[in-house]
Amino acid sequence: MFVDKAKIIIKAGDGGDGAVSFHREKFINAGGPDGGDGGKGGDIIFLVDDNFSTLIDFKYKKKYIADNGENGGAKKCFGKSAKDLIIKVPRGTVVRDAKTGRVMADLSADEPVILARGGKGGKGNSNFATATRQIPRFAKPGFPGEEFEVILELKLIADVGLVGFPNVGKSTLISVVSSAKPKIANYHFTTLTPVLGVVSVEEEKSFVMADIPGLIEGASEGIGLGHEFLRHVERCRLIIHILDVSGIEGRNPAEDFEAINTELKNFSEDLSKLPQIVVGNKSDMATEEQIVELRDYIESKGFNFFVISAATTQGTSELIYEAAKVLDSLPPIKVYDVEPITISQFDENDLNDRSFEIKLENGVYYVDAEWLAPVMRTVNMDDYSSLQYFQRVLRSSGIIDKLLEMGIQENDTVNILGFEFEFIN
């Protein structure tokens, strides 16, 4: 099964929590805090693997989560950083943020790309000892790893794309000019997946040709197979537009030419501007009058026209040399630039990482703030300096101001993620 689009969730590992620990050793009194820092969470890394040609693996597994960093330990021992999670994809995969549509990466080169960074480890209590706070009974939690829902789109990397109506001979052409062996049969939509072939022109000179499954009128609107595969033409530098000059299918090749170009333009304005070489195939079954009529029409539109018979290889060598000549004058294959995040792409919650909700029920103020969970794991509620730290977090995040705005009074009950305490301002 050829799958060229998938949506998955990637989650980098959280950083490990810092440790709360005190040095204890025989004959040494008041050894002081020695809690170590937490380890870094694992990154999510995407890597090109040319052994893959489809995104089918992502059809069955939708969530990829890297390991968390280890928590810090006593004796200032740092927690171990987690291993990175490497996700292998076919060459030409474009990764977009599902929420904003921005391009996060174009996996066309061999270099690995980090798409979600693991969280840094939290600081152990040994980092918070001062002359006035010699026994800190709190540490900092690890930072959460980045999480994204992303869309993977495979856009094949080929220099030349073969387009045309079904059964015009695209598969036959690529089979005779390259080592590709597509399925060939005399019925529509024989080719159900794009086929790549390397075409050798001369020693140390070649290009990649892609046989794109047959387009039909209305393909850009989702009709037929063409809509699914038009994206694979986007990277091509040159289009070879194949027509059935014999009209053996009962269609007019000039009308087919206009119809396919309309579909390319409707899908992408850039596609319609790509250089084209127009080919009249099946010339061995056409009359001289049919060939002359189509040649005059195509050349009147400003395109080069080649007459070939892919089945007998007549004219195929001349076509390939012309394609190579045109490619020499064209820019390299299109690579999608990574798009930076803009403020307009965020919603209110994204701009405030410390978002929260407070509800008053039966005299209890319930604070819902998931980001507070790791903070509370490392706060010792029986220690005064630790409570001071927790209070600073509540005040800097705006929770205390919101409680006061809602009319909270001294000794009213506050519940934060299941932990209850009396409010003291």
- Note whether residue 231 is domain-resident: yes
Domains of the chain: total: 3
CB 122, CB 72: distance < 8 Å: yes
Residues 148 and 174 in one domain: no
Residues 114 and 164 in one domain: no
Residue 378 confidence (pLDDT): 65
Q: What is the largest CA-CA distance in the chain?
A: 108
- Note whether residue 165 is domain-resident: yes
Residues 40 and 88 in one domain: yes
Residue 224 confidence (pLDDT): 44
Q: Which domain holds residue 394?
A: 349-422
Residues 247 and 314 in one domain: yes
- Note whether residue 191 is domain-resident: yes
Residue 228 confidence (pLDDT): 60
Integer Cα distance of 111 and 3 in angstroms: 23
Residues 22 and 129 in one domain: yes
Residues 191 and 148 in one domain: no
Residue 210 confidence (pLDDT): 85
- Note whether residue 265 is domain-resident: yes
Residue 235 confidence (pLDDT): 83
Residues 201 and 301 in one domain: yes
Residues 136 and 196 in one domain: no
Residue 344 confidence (pLDDT): 46
Residues 222 and 359 in one domain: no
- Note whether residue 363 is domain-resident: yes
Q: What is the CATH number of the domain that holds 167?
A: 3.40.50.300
Tens digit of each residue's pLDDT, the chain (425 residues): 457 789 999 999 999 999 999 887 776 666 789 999 999 999 999 999 988 888 988 988 999 999 999 999 999 999 999 999 999 999 999 999 998 888 999 999 999 999 999 999 999 989 888 877 788 888 888 888 999 999 999 888 889 989 888 888 888 999 999 876 755 545 444 445 677 888 998 877 899 998 877 555 544 454 444 456 667 777 889 999 999 999 888 889 999 999 889 888 887 788 888 999 999 999 999 999 999 999 999 999 999 999 999 999 999 999 999 999 999 999 988 888 887 655 444 444 444 467 899 999 888 899 988 888 777 766 767 767 777 878 888 998 899 999 999 999 998 999 887 788 888 87
Final residue of a structural domain among 293, 328, 363: 328
Integer Cα distance of 364 and 419 in angstroms: 12
List phi, psi (to 5°) of 102: -70, 150
Integer Cα distance of 26 and 22 in angstroms: 13
Residues 115 and 182 in one domain: no
Token pair 């020499």 in the structure block, residue: 328
- Note whether residue 145 is domain-resident: yes
Final residue of a structural domain among 275, 293, 328: 328
Integer Cα distance of 217 and 96 in angstroms: 29
Residues 175 and 143 in one domain: no
Whose CA is closest to 124, among 177, 55, 76, 165?
76
- Note whether residue 372 is domain-resident: yes
Integer Cα distance of 56 and 263 in angstroms: 27
Integer Cα distance of 20 and 74 in angstroms: 8
Q: What is the CATH number of the domain that holds 61?
A: 2.70.210.12
How far CA 218 is from CA of 33, 162, 221, 222, 329, in Å, comes to: 71, 18, 5, 7, 32
Residues 255 and 319 in one domain: yes
Integer Cα distance of 275 and 290 in angstroms: 24
- Note whether residue 341 is domain-resident: no
Final residue of a structural domain among 296, 328, 360: 328
Residue 219 confidence (pLDDT): 42
